[in-house]
Structure 1
Amino acid sequence: MTSGEMGSLLIIGAALLDQLIGDPIRILHPVVVMGWWIRQLRCRVEQWAGDHPTKLRCGGGLISLILVLGSAIAGWCLERLLWLPSPWQWLGVAILTVGLASALAARSLTDSVLAVLEALPARDEGDLETARRKLSWIVGRDVQSLDQAGLLRAAAETASENAVDGVFAPLFWMGIGALLWMVMPAGPGPLALAWAFKASSTLDSMLGYRTGRLRWLGTAGARLDDLLTWLPCRLVMLTLPLVCPPWSRWAQRVQAAERDGATDPSPNAGRSEAIYAHCIGIQLGGENRYGDRVVQKPVLGADQPTASLGLVRRVLNASRRLELLWISALLMIQLAIIH
């Protein structure tokens, strides 16, 4: 078996493992380790830079370089286990499969969104505190003032936006790594690239805020995350309509998503939500509250119905079908290259 073929099998195994068990609670997750390093490095940089914008920007760039490069090297070192003589090679396969699964969040995202839906009362006027609490675990917005319609919209938005960040972007970089192995077996592969992306995503989630020192400290991480997510996001825009019939509306949906999503300040978040809005037929966007700050997000799919239980579940089901399509496409690309 060639290294490229091994890469594809590892990705399939990781996707299955992620769908089956998600993120085990009792096992140390790589993202937790990345988060620990970010906190330690941030403390050192802030002690040195104080409130000086230029120093904070430089320090943020250094944090990004250390974390992303370090994560890639750690993944690359683990990949070398594959080339140990048998029976140790199978231990390498198991370790790499678990490592790749740790970069995917399909099961955890689905479970988190479904937990919010299941906590909603049967009637609109019921107790919403449980649903609000569970939603607060997966979104950054203020949830205390949300009614049932607001909770459903927030659940749909996080399911569509985080599908790109948590599933398709890492899956894309895994695929690039598997293809690289076909031409450079000893080079960085699926795990190295997936963990490098995960490091940039973790940097953005922890430092990518426009408040206080983070306005400068988090710039490098946020820009890198935007860059690494740019192409996977556009590929989601192009492929999601293929798993959401009718296919005759492919061009119309892609154009509408680009039109709506381009108005969002983020180069990726608005577009990822917009393509789901137009493929599923659900209205997203509007007013969000972050503490004392109110943000008016662009309305996506303005002519579509507002979020409901059924529509949020359709968002999750569409992501599941699209993940299967992407993995199938990777296998077909490799077969075409081999033959």
Structure 2
Amino acid sequence: MDLFICSTIALFFGILLDFILGDPHGWWHPVIGIGKIITKTEKIVRSIFPKTKKGERVGGIVLAVVVILLSVAIPAVLLYAAYWIHPIVGMVLEAVMCYAMLAAKSLKTESMKVADALEQDGLEAGRKAVSMIVGRDTERLDETGVIKAAVETVAENTSDGVIAPLIFMGIFGALGGFFYKSINTMDSMIGYKNEKYQYLGTAAAKLDDVVNFIPARISAMMMILSAFLCGMDGKGAFRIFKRDRYNHASPNSAQTESVMAGALGVQLAGDAWYFGVKHEKPTIGDAKRTVELLDIRRSNRLMYATTVLTALVVMGIRIFLIFANISF
């Protein structure tokens, strides 16, 4: 059986497994493995390169290269062995790998924990729940701030956690997902502008900006179309996207956040606290109404619609290439 066909079948079942089961938990999760590679490589790099601005930046480049190579090489060897044993064995392994690279149901589950905590146990429980999915300080957040943080997380991670890895896997199979996740995980672990990672994390942060540049914009376009399909304010989503898509320090994060704000008719972003320091940030969207608890559920509905639409496009292209007798 042609490897491209096997990969396409594996991707389909990987998407299906994510919708049904959600993010797998436990020691075997590939992202946990990538995280361990990052941690160990960081220790080695810090012991080799001088603790100067230049030394740490060079060390950060070496760290990024090593992490990407190992994160792709290890699953590549496993996939090669699996397909060598039998195409079905290879398909099963690749399907599990694709499933582990996606986080649609997990994103919904974790964000709805915030909604449930607020509704059932109050503000303190909501702050604790949202602290599990955001990097900002949450102890100062009021109920509106907690809801906004959850909605913003769903919006941003629609691209980072779902659409971007889906696009990379659509082009390169499961290994494309590992390539993307290695960079995205590095950015989430060391891509900070604090004292510890100001220079060592530069390469990881820049790489993340590069690999997300196109996927973030595709995600935004798909989300706008999905807003129309979901009966949300598609025109508002497009208007706020055009106006506010660069209202963020990252060139990519506000792409989907602006669409979400416009589709819901609310204002997101604004000032936030990180590690005890207040950061002044521009707002995204218009405050046509106050953010409410139901917006977390609405944001997930839009995320799922965007995921399904993108998956249909990706699978459609792959099926077309199969019938056109074209493979990568």
Provide TM-score, normalisation by structure 2.
Answer: 0.91
With 244-253 and 153-162 compared, the bigger mean Cα shift is at 244-253
**Runs of 4+, deviation exceeding 4 Å:** 246-252
Aligned to 1:300: 284
* Secondary structure, counterpart of 1:214 in structure 2: coil
Matching residue of 2:217: 234
Query: In the alignment, what sits opposite 2:188?
Result: 205
Q: How many Å apart are 1:127 and its aligned residue?
A: 3.5
Q: Which amino acid aligns with 1:290?
A: Y
SS in 2 for 1:217: coil
After superposition, the Cα gap between the structure-2 partners of 1:160 and 1:291, relative to the gap in structure 1 and judged at 3 Å, is same
Q: Which residue of 2 aligns with 1:116?
A: 114
Output the CA distance in 2 between the equivalents of 1:31 and 1:62. 20
- Give 1:83-102 correspondences, 5 Å limit: 83-85=83-85, 88-102=86-100
> Which of 268, 291, 295 is residue 284 of structure 1 equivalent to?
268
**CA distance in structure 2 between the aligned counterparts of 1:248 and 1:109, rounded to whole angstroms:** 20
| Partner-residue secondary structure (3-state), 2:198 | helix
CA gap of 1:238–1:202, structure 2 versus 1, over 3 A, is same
Offset at residue 248 of structure 1 (A): 12
CA offsets 1:105-138 (integer angstroms, 9 cap, x no match): 111111110001001136xxx7322221111111
Cα distance in structure 1, aligned partners of 2:275 and 2:76: 41
- The DSSP-based 3-state class of the residue aligned with 1:216 is coil
Q: Give the Å deviation of 1:27.
A: 4.5
2:312 pairs, out of 328, 331, 336, with 328
Q: Does 1:79 align with 2:63?
A: no
Long gaps (5+) in structure 1: 178-189
Say if 2:193 is the partner of 1:195: no
Paired position in structure 2 for 1:29: 29
Q: CA deviation at 1:321?
A: 1.2
- Tell me the SS of whatever aligns to 1:254: helix
Pairing of 1:1-339 with structure 2 (within 5 A): 1-81=1-81, 83-85=83-85, 88-121=86-119, 127-177=122-172, 190-245=173-228, 253-337=237-321, 338-339=323-324
**Relative to 1, partners in 2 of residues 1:9 and 1:146: Cα closer, same or farther, differing over 3 Å?**
same
**C-alpha distance in 2, partners of 1:118/1:253?**
27
* Matched AA of 1:46: R
8 Å CA contact 1:120, 1:131 repeated in 2: yes
8 Å contact kept, 1:51–1:213: no
Q: Is the 8 Å Cα contact of residues 81 and 89 (structure 1) preserved in structure 2?
A: no
User: In the alignment, what sits opposite 1:183?
Assistant: none
Q: Deviations over 1:256-287 (max 9, x none)?
A: 31321213110111122111111232321112
CA-to-partner distance for each residue in 1:179-214, whole Å, 9 max, x for gaps?
A: xxxxxxxxxxx1111101100011001100111141
* 1:140-179 Cα shifts (integer Å, max 9, x gaps): 11111111111101110111111111111100100111xx
- After superposition, the CA RMSD in angstroms is 2.1
TM-score for both structures, normalised by structure 1: 0.89
2:11–2:94 contact (8 Å) kept in structure 1: no
Residue 180 of structure 1 is matched in structure 2 by none
Structure 2 unaligned blocks of 5 or more: none
Contact 1:15 1:104 in 2 (8 A): yes
The answer on whether the counterparts of 1:8 and 1:331 sit within 8 Å (CA) in structure 2 is yes
Aligned to 1:215, the other structure's residue is in SS state coil
Moved more, 129-138 or 4-13: 4-13
Identity %: 30
Distance between the aligned counterparts of 2:76 and 2:37, measured in 1?
Answer: 19
Label 1:327 to 1:28 Cα distance change in 2 as closer, same or farther (>3 A): same
**CA separation of 1:284 and 1:56: change in aligned 2, threshold 3 A:** same
- Contact 1:74 / 1:192 at 8 angstroms: preserved in 2? no
Shift of 1:82: 5.4
Change (3 A) 1:145 1:320: same
1:32 aligned partner, one-letter code: I
Deviation at 1:251, TM superposition (A): 6.9
Contact 1:156 1:307 in 2 (8 A): no
**Contact (CA 8 Å) 2:12, 2:315: kept in 1 or not?**
no
Matched to 1:33, the amino acid is G
1: CA distance between counterparts of 2:38 and 2:228?
43
